[in-house]
Amino acid sequence: MFNFKQLASHAYRQYELVTCINMLEPWERKLINGFFLIMMTLVIFSSFVYLPNYLQTLMQFVTPLAGHNSGENVAYVAQKMARS
Amino acid sequence: MYIGYFNINWLMNTEKGHVNCSNYCTDSNGYHFRIRSLRRKKEKISHNTKQLFLLLQSPTSTNYHPDKKTIFNGAIFGKHQEECKPNQAEGKLSPELEHHQKTSFEEVPLHTACLTYLGFYLLMILGYINQLLFVPKVATEKNREGYVALYDAFESFYSRYVYRRVKDCWNRPICSVPGDELTLKDRVTDDYGWSFKFTGTETRCLNLGSYNYLGFAAAAGRCADESEERARNDGLAYCSSRCELGDNEQLHELESLTARYFGVEDAIVFGMGFATNALNLPSLLGPNCLVVSDEKNHASIILGLRLSGATIKVFKHNNMRDLERVLREGICYGNPKKGGTPWNKIMVVVEGIFSMEGSIVRLPEIIALKKKYKAYLYLDEAHSVGAMGSHGRGVTDYFNVNPKEVDILMGTFTKSFGSAGGYLAGSKKLIDFLRTNSHAHCYAGSISPPIAQQILTSMKTIMGEDGSDTGRKKILQLARNTRYFRRRLAQLGVITYGHEDSPVVPMLVYLFSKIGAVVRTLTTRHIAVVGAGFPATPIMEGRIRFCLSAAHTKEQLDYALEVIDEIGDDLGLKYSRKPRDANPIEY
C-alpha cells in the first residue's frame, strides 16, 4: 500500500513537471488538469466503444482470405468498410 | 544504521533493568568475564548511541549541514596533499585528442526534448490566455494613446507570464559574504510572483552559485583587513576618471603587478568588467574589420562587437574546423560590402572558460590557426583567470602557452580575485594605444582604493609574494574539488556539460519547470544554486549551474552531492545513458 502511494505520488510529480503544473496558478492548474482529463476520457471511451469494431474490420481487410466467408472477394470488404 | 538501532533498544532495556542478570552469574570466573564484557559492550553502546543521534539529527552521513555551522568564511579545511594535481593540461596527447577526451556534451534524450517543447508551448499558450483575460499587476503609463510601445512586447510578455512563475528562484537577496556559505533573506509571494515580501527570517545555505573560485571573497582574513585599512587611509573613491584626477600610485602598482602576473609587457585596468569588453572592443575594431566570434561568447563581447561596427561572423562553439572555414572564407572573399577588397584586420574572439557551457577554449589549436591565417586573437579570461593552470594564470598557463602569443588578454577581477573590475594585458604598444583611445579609460571612474587593494592582496597571494603558500593551496584545492565534484556527478548519472577541469559545472535539467523545482528544492535543503533558462540558453537546455570554489570542503561537497542524488531520483534528473563508474571516487 505504502509502495503504491509512493509510486503514485512519484508519477504525479513527473506529470506535474512535464506539464509545468507545479509553477501554475490554481485556476490554470484546473484548466490544464481538466484538459488532460477530458482528453484521456475521450481516448479511453473511444477505444472501448469504437476500437474493437475498427480492429475487426481492419483484420478482415488485412487478411481477406482467413475470414469466415472464404468465398468473398475483396470488394465486399471495401463495401463493409465504407458502411461501418 | 541497523546496528545503531539495535543497540539503542539494548541500552533502553538495560536502563530499565529488564536485562536478566542471572545469565551472567553462573560461576565466579564466568561472572567476572561477563561483567567485563558487559562493561565493554556498554561503552560500545554509548558510542553507537551517540552516532545514532547524530544520524537522526542530520540526513547525511557526512555530518555537515549549513544550518548547524558557525559562520566562518573563506578558510581551507580540507587536508592538503602536495601530490594532488592542479588544473593543468597533461600535454601527453595532441591538443585535439586531449580536448575530445576531457570534454563531454551528451546528447539530449529524444523524449525529453519533445516534453520540453510541449511544456514550453503550454506555458506560452497559458500566458497568452492570461494576457487576454486579466490586466497585469504592473505599473502602466497614462496618456500614451497613439505612442508606439517603448519596450519590446515579447520581452515584457515573457517576463510577465513565463519568468514570473519561477521568479522566486532568481535575484534572491542575500545578507552575508558569498563565501563557501551564504545567508539568504527569506521572502514570500502572495500573488504568484508579481510582488514579494520579506518574512524577516534568514536561511543559511551552502553556496554553489558564486564565481568565488579561489575563495577570496571572505569577511575575514588578510584581503579583508588590508582593504579595510586602505579604505580608512585613502577613502572610498576618487570620483574621477583615470585621465583626470582618478589616477594614483596604487593603480600603477596594480597595472604593473597584473602585467607581471600574466607575464606580458603591460596592462591596463578598468573599474568594470562588462565595460572592459563592451567599450574596448570598439576602440580596437572598425567597420572594415572582420571578427570571428564563438557562438557562446558573453553578452559583453557581443555588445562590444556590435558597437564597433565590424562585420561579425560566428563559428560553432569550440569547433576548430568551422573556425578555419570562416577564416578561410573571410580571407578568400574579402569584404563583400566593399566589393571584395581585403579586410583591414581579422580578429578571433574567444573566452577561456565559457560560463554557460563549462567548456575550455582549445587554445593551442586556435593559436596555430591564428598564426596560419595572420589573424589577431582576443582572449576573454573572465572565468578562467585564477581558476586554471598550476599558477592560476588562466588558460595560457593551463595549456603552457606563452602568453605573448595571445595578442590581447582580457579578464575580470570580479571572479577569482573576489573584487570588481577588468583588465586588458598585452604588448606595451597595444596598452599605450588603449590608454589614449579607450572610452572606459577616459570617461569611466577609476577603481575604488579598497577594491583595488583587494585585487592587489589576492593577486600577491596567488603569486606567492606574500611569503605563504596559501595561493598554491587554494589553486590545488579548487582543482581537487572540481575533479571530485564532476566525477561524482557523472557517477550519479546526471548530464553535465563541459571540460573535466572547468570549475563551472552546468547540470542539464532540460525542462523549464525542472529548473524552478530543482532550485526551490535545493534551497529548502540549504543549498544555493543558480538556474539558467531560455533567454540565456537554448529553449531545450535548461540547466543548473554549480560553481565550485577553493573554499568548499569535501564535507560540503558530499552534502551537496547527497542531496542532488536524492532529488535526482525524485525529480528525474538522471538522464545520462553513459556507463557509470562503479568504483568510489577518490577525493
Nearest Cα residue to B548 out of B499, B458, B477: B477
Residue B286 CA: distances (Å) to CA of B280, B313, B327, B376, B444: 12, 15, 18, 14, 22
Same domain, A12 and A39: yes
Nearest Cα residue to B216 out of B471, B395, B480: B471
Nearest Cα residue to B534 out of B210, B155, B209: B155
Question: Closest to B119 (Cβ–Cβ): which among A13, A18, A28?
Answer: A18
Per residue in A7-63, pLDDT (tens digit) is 999 999 899 888 888 889 999 999 999 999 999 999 999 999 999 999 998 988 888
Q: Give the orientation angle of helix B153-161 with respect to helix B110-133, to 10 degrees.
A: 100
What is the end-to-end Cα distance of chain A in Å, rounded?
Answer: 45
User: CB A16 to CB B166 under 8 A?
Assistant: no
Which residues of chain A have a CB within 8 Å of the CB of B122? 19-20, 32
Our CA-based measurement puts residue B118 at a distance from the nearest CA of chain A, in whole angstroms, of 7
Confidence of residue B411 (pLDDT cuts 50, 70, 90): very high
Same domain, A61 and A76: yes
ipTM of the complex: 0.72
Our CA-based measurement puts residue B150 at a distance from the nearest CA of chain A, in whole angstroms, of 29
Do residues B51 and B512 make contact, with C-beta atoms less than 8 angstroms apart? no
How buried is B428 (Cβ within 10 angstroms: 0-12 exposed, 13-18 middle, 19+ buried)? exposed
Chain A to chain B Cβ contacts (< 8 Å):
42
Strand duo B542-547 + B530-532: pairing: antiparallel
At residue B373, the pLDDT reads 95
Same domain, A30 and A62: no
User: CB B514 to CB A25 under 8 A?
Assistant: no
Q: How far apart are CA B504 and CA B545, in angstroms?
A: 7
At residue A69, the pLDDT reads 54
Region B508-530: mean pLDDT is 93
Q: How far apart are CA B223 and CA B69, in angstroms?
A: 23
Nearest Cα residue to B304 out of B271, B281, B274, B283: B281
Same domain, A39 and A55: no
Same domain, A39 and A56: no
Q: B55 or A4: which carries more pLDDT confidence?
A: A4
At residue A65, the pLDDT reads 65
User: CB A17 to CB B130 under 8 A?
Assistant: no
Q: How far apart are CA B521 and CA B528, in angstroms?
A: 10
Region B431-452: mean pLDDT is 94
| CA closest to A16 among chain B residues | B513
Q: Is the dihedral of CA B12, B15, B19, B25 positive or negative?
A: positive
At residue B1, the pLDDT reads 33
Record the cell numbers describing residue B64, joined without a space: 555537515
Which residues of chain A have a CB within 8 Å of the CB of B575? none
User: CB B572 to CB A19 under 8 A?
Assistant: no
At residue B14, the pLDDT reads 35
Nearest Cα residue to B286 out of B257, B260, B311: B311
Q: How far apart are CA A82 and CA A76, in angstroms?
A: 10
| Res B505 pLDDT > 60 | yes
Region A54-74: mean pLDDT is 71
User: What dihedral angle (degrees, nearest 10) is formed by the CA atoms of B7, B10, B16, B19?
Assistant: -150
At residue B63, the pLDDT reads 72
Same domain, A77 and A39: no
Same domain, A12 and A33: yes
Do residues B157 and B127 make contact, with C-beta atoms less than 8 angstroms apart? yes
User: CB A23 to CB B122 under 8 A?
Assistant: no
Nearest Cα residue to B537 out of B104, B108, B101, B100: B108
Our CA-based measurement puts residue B208 at a distance from the nearest CA of chain A, in whole angstroms, of 24
| Res B76 pLDDT > 50 | no
In the chain, the amino acid numbered B415 is K
Look at residue B147 and give its three-state secondary structure.
Answer: coil
Q: Grid coordinates 600603477 are at which residue?
A: B252
Question: Closest to A23 (Cβ–Cβ): which among B130, B165, B572?
Answer: B165
Do residues B267 and B258 make contact, with C-beta atoms less than 8 angstroms apart? yes
Region B408-418: mean pLDDT is 94
Chain A residues within 8 Å of chain B (Cβ atoms): 10, 13-14, 16-25, 28, 31-32
| Res B13 pLDDT > 70 | no
At residue B79, the pLDDT reads 47
Confidence of residue B139 (pLDDT cuts 50, 70, 90): confident
| Res B438 pLDDT > 90 | yes
Same domain, A82 and A57: yes
User: CB B123 to CB A13 under 8 A?
Assistant: no
Record the cell numbers describing residue B168, joined without a space: 522566486
Q: Grid coordinates 602568453 are at which residue?
A: B403
Our CA-based measurement puts residue B578 at a distance from the nearest CA of chain A, in whole angstroms, of 22
CA atoms within 13 A on the CB side of B119: 29
Q: Which residues contact B29 (CB under 8 A, 6 or more apart)?
A: none
Q: B40 or A51: which carries more pLDDT confidence?
A: A51
Q: How far apart are CA B386 and CA B208, in angstroms?
A: 18
Confidence of residue B144 (pLDDT cuts 50, 70, 90): confident
Which residues of chain B have a CB within 8 Å of the CB of A22? 513, 516-517
What is the end-to-end Cα distance of chain B in Å, rounded?
Answer: 24
Q: How far apart are CA B378 and CA B408, in angstroms?
A: 5
Same domain, A57 and A74: yes
Per residue in B239-271, pLDDT (tens digit) is 999 999 999 999 999 999 999 999 999 999 999
Confidence of residue B28 (pLDDT cuts 50, 70, 90): very low
Region B84-112: mean pLDDT is 86
Confidence of residue B23 (pLDDT cuts 50, 70, 90): very low
Our CA-based measurement puts residue B496 at a distance from the nearest CA of chain A, in whole angstroms, of 20
The least confident of A10-24, B362-376, B501-515 is: A10-24
Give the mean pLDDT of chain B: 85
User: What dihedral angle (degrees, nearest 10) is formed by the CA atoms of B381, B382, B386, B389?
Assistant: -30
Domain that holds residue A67: 50-84
In the chain, the amino acid numbered B108 is V
| Res B10 pLDDT > 60 | no
Q: B8 or B554: which carries more pLDDT confidence?
A: B554
Question: Closest to A18 (Cβ–Cβ): which among B115, B166, B192?
Answer: B115
User: CB A17 to CB B516 under 8 A?
Assistant: no
Q: How far apart are CA B66 and CA B525, in angstroms?
A: 9
CA angle centred on B330, ends B326 and B332, rounded to 5°: 115
At residue B61, the pLDDT reads 55
Which residues of chain B have a CB within 8 Å of the CB of A13? 570-571
Our CA-based measurement puts residue B185 at a distance from the nearest CA of chain A, in whole angstroms, of 22
At residue B138, the pLDDT reads 81
Q: How far apart are CA B171 and CA B407, in angstroms?
A: 37
Region B191-219: mean pLDDT is 92
Question: Closest to B119 (Cβ–Cβ): which among A10, A13, A20?
Answer: A20
| Res B561 pLDDT > 80 | yes
Same domain, A39 and A54: no
Region B471-491: mean pLDDT is 93
Question: Closest to B192 (Cβ–Cβ): which among A13, A16, A25?
Answer: A25
Same domain, A34 and A56: no
- How many Cβ atoms are within 10 Å of B465's Cβ, its own excluded? 14
Look at residue B583 and give its three-state secondary structure.
Answer: coil
Query: Based on the structure, what is the number of domains in chain A?
Result: 2
| Res A75 pLDDT > 50 | yes
Our CA-based measurement puts residue B115 at a distance from the nearest CA of chain A, in whole angstroms, of 6
When scoring B191, B569, B571 by the number of chain A Cβ atoms within 10 A, the one with the most, hence best to mutate, is B571
Record the cell numbers describing residue B549, joined without a space: 570554489
Q: Can you spell out the DSSP letters for B108-139? A: PPHHHHHHHHHHHHHHHHHHHHHHHHS--SS-
Question: Closest to A17 (Cβ–Cβ): which among B126, B130, B513?
Answer: B513
Same domain, A31 and A1: yes
At residue A63, the pLDDT reads 83
